[in-house]
Structure 1
């Protein structure tokens, strides 16, 4: 499974519509998706699914006209396809590189263990393939529940996951840790699986997805969320996670370089409930890193930290306060597609 920083052809988005939980927040959330789309088009193509055919046609026309006016390399391909929600990271296809070329794997999606409706999202990749979004790249169905946000690849055969997510019985009740490792080896080429047994974000619906907690920045470098306030409810779990990360070793036995990410001030919904705002939910694309910001004082520190982690890429902030209202962020609504998959 390629690392996220490997060359990409496109980023996939599933556009919000009034039939999703965004129905009362469309005016706030669509500008966020538009900002992500325009940032991506500066560097690569975009594949967008929309619930309604007229929205898909209009959006494709608007995005491509803007890209041409800006003389950008990217183009948008928008198709009509039903969806329950917008979390492309988790219902999108997972790419693997083989001797015969790239393949896309269509794992089962059940809305993080049946928490929400999911049938349309589970069928979405087949709709996109039928609509020509993936070119000649084959799409292979895998009878196993796996979300893209739950796995993190270094591109060299090491996969990082959390036990709280992958071992949740509402996903794959017949699989224990050994069986999951074997399946990840067979499907995405995992030679090693690093399991984090701690990690927690208030308001998280995913059972501790790895992409909200710890990310590879390079094969020997991991960044992670760290809470420095002993009075914060997150402190015990994230302190234990930090100790686990310090015990991880690379395939050659050497320790990883570790960089903590800033801990944002609490971001609350209108009822005063804490939302899972995290700077680990960034997206790496060709030539850039899109970084979620939440209108809190730590945003600038997060951008500075990411610039040091990815010195050869442009760091682009994206205001994601509306996204986190539905308990996800920037990485959660995107899925990258490798070089050669999309050619517009």
Structure 2
């Protein structure tokens, strides 16, 4: 049960490809076989497995017989967040967004603001004119775009370029209500689609009374997450339905890809029922020392899994455990959820 395949998986995702990881495992013999497939190459049983995964949360655990099962997982590359403007708000927004799974890109024409030393390796920095940046970036409908440049002129230029493209997942622009109203009226007079303009999130961010650059960045990111997860802005106490998406923990995948024969176990949530802290697809690495990367929800239940996984690390063992968070069991452990979570523990 080596980790080399996760290096390939990460490389495919970094290329923007959508791939399936098919894990065939036998609880009796402890044999595990993993293969990666481009979705366009799938056929036969593997296609059936992936279709079942797509029907759920992009992950399905299919029981073949008493000993053999197949875990089918569909992985998509991270959503891109493109931030025009590397000032104080843009800086904090990029860093917060990269922490919650966005492939983050920042654009600015000022070298003092847009540089790798400032933003680090996890954020792509384009130090160029905004006009040239649109030639470099292949912006498409799956992208999220935020405009927080240093002035009205650059904001309007970026917005005009974006409005000439197909509909995006999200377009947000900073500015006061008055300034935004004037700009929208100007754009409509210039012939831009009124429907597209009305779909712009501006003034940007959830109204949480944000004042500092950090707070404003959080309000923007909260708005983006709401659009990403439920397709609209969340309303307090209103029931919501979260869109299907397998949780991609890039930290876990990167740690697996870079592994140098460390003793570890990979924990994957393969199914859930009821209210659980994390959904199917969540992953966590547990080293023999007890150190972890990732989470399956925290609390007492996770602590037990960590203990078991640490003891298994390096043994080539394989097991399935069910975490019960219902009724008296939940009360005894002080849990706030009320569901069941099944996890696969693979010792590596």
Fold match (TM-score > 0.5): no
Task: Write 1 or 2 for the structure with the bigger share of helix.
Answer: 2
> TM-score, normalised on structure 2?
0.26
Larger radius of gyration: 2
Question: Per chain length, whose mean CA-contact separation is higher, i.e. which structure has more relative contact order (CA < 8 Å, sep 6+)?
Answer: 1
